[in-house]
């Protein structure tokens, strides 16, 4: 590929897309590997073989049919990671109901919105999680009070008689009803709504089909070489694509085992799960891997069973990737890049990629997909090596935002390219590097500054555990750089002068942070995405920059 080539690549593959529903795929796997373990829920001590798991899914599916849930009806799931979450995921798919993932961190404002916007008919819910009283919040928004809705609403609480009654009804039902329903389903049917956490306004419901998420999960599994011998440790949230698609569907489409270490991320429980279950694969966002590596008892756990895993959710620091490959035995660990609207993975590193490729890029385009990098101002592909907006096209692009055609048209153009909002470059071999968000780009005195470059540089400092760089208002330059830093345990706190001195002579002067803020943690979403918008808002108060922020610029 010459230097003048455009930043476009398509994923050529000899492996065909799966043309089946999630239910059909699960049944095929269960028939091939009936006695292999499918699901382990360590918090409750329960285990299912594939034959048992498929049978348990059918009971929940029939229970939902008995409850009057029809094809296309929306069924909410609001719970931390647990076996019932996974059973509900596959049961709704088997009957053609649309599973609506509700973020475990939601409060009544967001909960009420997604219930109304998706017109949920039934919610499978935990009673509580951490400080959240789900039962009280559901009562507060009026769910289950039929006079509030044109159609009856039903509540099923996990671990209570409602769940047991649902399963019992399914067990007593005629299995032929499930076969009849399955015969009406197509793999392009909508099967899942995932609300993306918008930085402003209400979230949008990305609507995904069997074809979208089954194939994405399958090809992620292919990318890390899954077989029925693999055991996949999933400390990432099931309510997000990372857990339910890259985790569950990647596993079940290959006959691998899903291991749930705890209801929510706990570094020690995760390390213990890898050891006790002899897991071969471990998932996490970079902050999770950092927490595991820096855990006081890290050296006590036998992680030698690991060979692979996936790091995704936010850009991975090079130094963290190297430690994961070396100290956690994950020599084949992959980096995945994507977004909910693309089911989610668009690019991925491969097992035979060098460590440099796996630490400096987010890999190449996935099979059967296309990616291009375009100039935001023209929409035309840029030359290889030049930054622009990353776009994805193919089977993985969502059906649209639920009941929001205008918002869909803003994100997916007439040629069916999904615009990610991420700034990226593509090299001559087709490897993609994410250099920031379009909204994160800092323009300091006319110079374009990509925070990711400065973050990668500062990660090399021996006392810095994690770092995020943002732009803050400045009266002279328009924007200045601010580094938020988490120190390594037992390291002496760094001053702003020390950080600047470390950069001096090694970074261009306009890339050296003017401000340094030491913190214990970053504001982030439940899925581990750093909320730089919130960091900028806090910076206005921390640095008293409200007057600079009020200055209008062209």
Residue 548 pLDDT greater than 90, yes or no: no
- Percentages helix, strand, coil for the chain, rounded to the nearest 5? 35, 25, 40
- Please give the pLDDT value at position 145: 65
**Where exactly does CATH 3.30.300.30 map onto the chain?**
440-549
Closest alpha carbon to 191 in 395, 408, 23, 369: 23
Q: Which class is domain 440-549?
A: alpha beta
Decide: 393 and 353 in contact? Cβ < 8 Å: no
Helix, strand, or coil (residue 250):
helix
3-class SS at 479? strand
Instruction: Give pLDDT tens digits for 182-202.
Output: 999 999 999 999 998 654 457
Confidence band of 30 (pLDDT split at 50, 70, 90): very high
Position 527 pLDDT exceeds 70: no
**Per-residue pLDDT reduced to its tens digit, 69-126:** 999 999 999 999 999 999 999 999 999 999 999 989 888 888 999 999 999 999 999 9
- Whether the CB-CB separation of 376 and 21 falls below 8 Å is answered with no
pLDDT digits (tens, 9 = 90+) for 473-483: 988 888 899 99
Residues 6+ apart with CB under 8 A from 164: none
Query: How far apart, in whole angstroms, are the C-alpha atoms of residue 110 and residue 117?
Result: 10
22-423 CATH fold: Rossmann fold (3.40.50)
CA 170/CA 223 separation, integer angstroms: 36
Per-residue confidence at 554, pLDDT binned at 50, 70, 90? Answer: very low
What's the pLDDT at 553? 41
Q: How far apart are CA 247 and CA 17, in angstroms?
A: 18
3: pLDDT strictly greater than 80: no
Is the C-alpha dihedral spanning 484, 486, 491, 493 positive or negative? positive
* Cβ atoms of residues 31 and 253 within 8 Å: no
Residue 508 — very low, low, confident or very high, per pLDDT cuts 50/70/90? confident
Residue of 244, 203, 218, 206 lying closest to 398 (CA atoms): 206
Where exactly does CATH 3.40.50.12780 map onto the chain?
Answer: 22-423
How much is the average pLDDT of 244-256?
A: 98
Residue 329 exposed, middle or buried by CB count within 10 Å (0-12, 13-18, 19+)? buried
**Beta-bridge partner residues of 259:** 40, 233
Give the lowest-confidence range in 52-66, 195-209, 486-500: 195-209
Residue-level pLDDT at 336: 95
Coil, strand, or helix at residue 293?
helix
Q: Is 50 exceeded by the pLDDT of residue 61?
A: yes
pTM for the complete prediction?
A: 0.86
Q: Name which of 132-146, 360-374, 389-403, 458-472 the model is least confident about.
A: 132-146
pLDDT of residue 144: 82
Q: Which residues contact 398 (CB under 8 A, 6 or more apart)?
A: 206, 207, 208, 212, 340, 341, 342, 343, 412, 418
CA-wise closest residue to 26 among 38, 17, 42 = 38
- Whether pLDDT at 151 is above 70: no
| pLDDT score recorded for residue 551 | 67
Three-state secondary structure readout of 347-411:
EECCCCCCHHHHHHCCCEECCCEEEEEECCCCCCECECCCCEEEEEEECCCCCEECCCHHHHHHH
Per-residue confidence at 1, pLDDT binned at 50, 70, 90? very low
């Amino acid at each position: 590929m010459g230097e003048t080539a455009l930043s476009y690549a398509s994923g050529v593959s000899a492996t065909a897309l799966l043309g089946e529903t999630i239910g059909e795929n699960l049944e095929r796997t269960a028939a091939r590997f009936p006695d292999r373990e499918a699901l382990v829920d360590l918090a409750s001590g329960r285990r299912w073989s594939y034959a048992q798991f498929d049978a348990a899914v059918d009971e929940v599916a029939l229970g939902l049919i008995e409850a009057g849930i029809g094809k296309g009806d929306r069924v909410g799931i609001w719970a931390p990671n647990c076996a019932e979450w996974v059973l509900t995921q596959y049961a709704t798919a088997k009957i053609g109901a649309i599973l609506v993932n509700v973020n475990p961190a939601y409060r009544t404002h967001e909960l009420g919105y997604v219930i109304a916007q998706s017109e949920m008919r039934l919610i499978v819910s935990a009673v509580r999680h951490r400080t959240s009283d789900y039962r009280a919040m559901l009562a507060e928004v009026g769910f289950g009070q039929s006079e509030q809705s044109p159609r009856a609403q039903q509540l099923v609480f996990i671990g209570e008689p409602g769940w047991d009654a649902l399963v019992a009804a399914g067990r007593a039902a005629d299995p032929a009803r499930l076969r009849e329903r399955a015969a009406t389903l197509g793999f392009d049917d909508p099967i899942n709504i995932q609300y993306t956490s918008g930085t402003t306004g209400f979230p949008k419901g990305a609507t995904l089909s069997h074809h979208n998420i089954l194939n994405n999960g399958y090809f992620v599994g292919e990318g890390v070489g899954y077989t029925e011998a693999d055991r996949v440790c999933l400390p990432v949230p099931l309510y997000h694509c990372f857990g339910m698609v890259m985790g569950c569907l990647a596993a079940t489409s290959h006959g691998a085992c899903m291991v749930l270490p705890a209801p929510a991320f706990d570094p020690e429980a995760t390390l213990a799960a890898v050891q006790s279950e002899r897991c071969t694969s471990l998932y996490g966002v970079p902050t999770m891997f950092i927490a595991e590596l820096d855990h006081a008892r890290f050296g006590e756990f036998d992680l030698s069973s690991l060979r692979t895993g996936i790091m995704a959710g936010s850009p991975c620091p090079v130094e963290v990737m190297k430690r994961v490959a070396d100290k956690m035995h994950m020599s084949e660990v992959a980096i995945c890049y994507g977004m909910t609207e693309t089911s989610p993975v668009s690019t991925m590193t491969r097992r035979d990629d060098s460590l440099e490729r796996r630490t400096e890029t987010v890999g190449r385009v996935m099979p059967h997909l296309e990616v291009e990098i375009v100039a935001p101002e023209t929409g035309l592909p840029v030359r290889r090596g030049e930054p622009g907006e990353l776009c994805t096209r193919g089977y993985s692009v969502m059906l649209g935002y639920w009941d929001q055609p205008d918002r869909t048209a803003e994100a997916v153009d007439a040629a069916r390219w999904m615009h990610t909002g991420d700034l990226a470059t593509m090299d001559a071999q087709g490897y993609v590097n994410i250099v920031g968000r379009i909204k994160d780009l800092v323009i300091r005195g006319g110079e374009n500054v990509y925070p990711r470059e400065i973050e990668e540089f500062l990660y090399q400092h021996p006392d810095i555990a994690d770092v995020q760089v943002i732009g803050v208002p400045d009266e002279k330059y328009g924007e200045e750089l601010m580094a938020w830093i988490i120190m390594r345990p037992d390291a002496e706190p760094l001053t702003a002068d020390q950080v600047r001195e470390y950069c001096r002579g090694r970074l261009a002067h306009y890339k050296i942070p003017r401000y340094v803020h030491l913190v214990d943690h970053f504001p982030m979403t439940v899925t581990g995405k750093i909320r730089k918008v919130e960091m900028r808002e806090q910076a206005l108060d921390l640095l008293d920059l409200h007057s600079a922020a009020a200055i209008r610029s062209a």
